[in-house]
Amino acid sequence: MFKGSFPALVTPLKDGSVDFDALKRLVEWHIDQGSNGLVPVGTTGESPTLSHAEHEQVVEAVVAKAAGRIPVIAGAGSNNTAESIHLARHAASVGADAVLVVTPYYNKPTQAGLIAHFTAINDAADIPIIIYNIPGRSVVDMTPDTMAELAKLPRIIGVKDATGDLARVPATRITCGTDFLQMSGEDATALGFNAHGGLGCISVTANVAPKLCSDMQAATLKGDYATALAITDKLMPLHQAIFVEPGLCGVKYAMSLLDLCSDEVRLPLLPVADETKAQIKSALEFAGLL
């Protein structure tokens, strides 16, 4: 069910508020472009600066618009276990297919604390759970051995791995088994991730290049790495340009050039600088998107 290209969906904003009309248009566009699923209200969806009400409304809107045509993995991460439980229960109640739960940031829990956190969510919410391991932002790294303990739980089904360490994929296959879902959280290494045993990417770049990202994923899953490499070559400057500044700012600017949504973001983030804009525009042209 969860394979291929899953855009880490941006939350369009207009004059400080969520632009639900643009959000619904994006869902339809992604389905038309071949995205294999959607991940609303992760960090690329500006979850840190959305209110709880906005968070829930975005999940509801995406699930309703997708209408079962592609799966929806709702962001439900927090460094507060009770808040993650609340968000996971809400996602389940409105029909999301799974939740994405990041390792608790700032608190720096031990590996035992990570097990307790995810076990509590597993026990409290009746919905599949995908762990989001991103030590560069959360400042805690879930080890493959810890993940193996969590993989024994009935609702922990996989991981979004943003470590950038491709050796993690086979290491996790050894500890968690080959049925444990592994999805990349880093666009630039998504091809190699699948070559090592991954099944997809929760992608920032797919917000603006959904068909290319989906085609690349489909090629890897068929074992056609020559085609996947040709698409990756085309997309690599865009992967890089989007992340010159925080990725959601970069991809929103790219999307604004294609009239998909505005480049508005919430403080403490800002729209990208002019120099970055020029790099993103050049990368879009290189990829044949502009």
> ω into residue 268 within 30 of 0, thus cis?
yes
Comparing CA positions, the residue from 191, 156, 203 lying closest to residue 177 is 156
Residue in 65, 160, 252, 277 annotated catalytic: 160
Residue type, 131: I
Provide the sign of the torsion angle of the four alpha carbons 143, 144, 146, 147, taken in this order: positive
Please give the Cα distance from 79 to 37 (Å, whole number): 25
Please state, in angstroms and as integers, the Cα–Cα distance from residue 262 to each residue in 167, 188, 251, 253, 278, following that order: 38, 25, 10, 7, 17
How far is CA 194 from its chain centroid?
16
Asked if 160 is an active-site residue, the reply is yes
Asked if 152 is an active-site residue, the reply is no
Phi-psi region of 67 (alpha: psi -120 to 50; beta: other; left: phi over 0): left
Residue in 3, 24, 105, 132 annotated catalytic: 132
How far is CA 265 from its chain centroid?
18
Which active-site residues does the annotation give? 132, 160
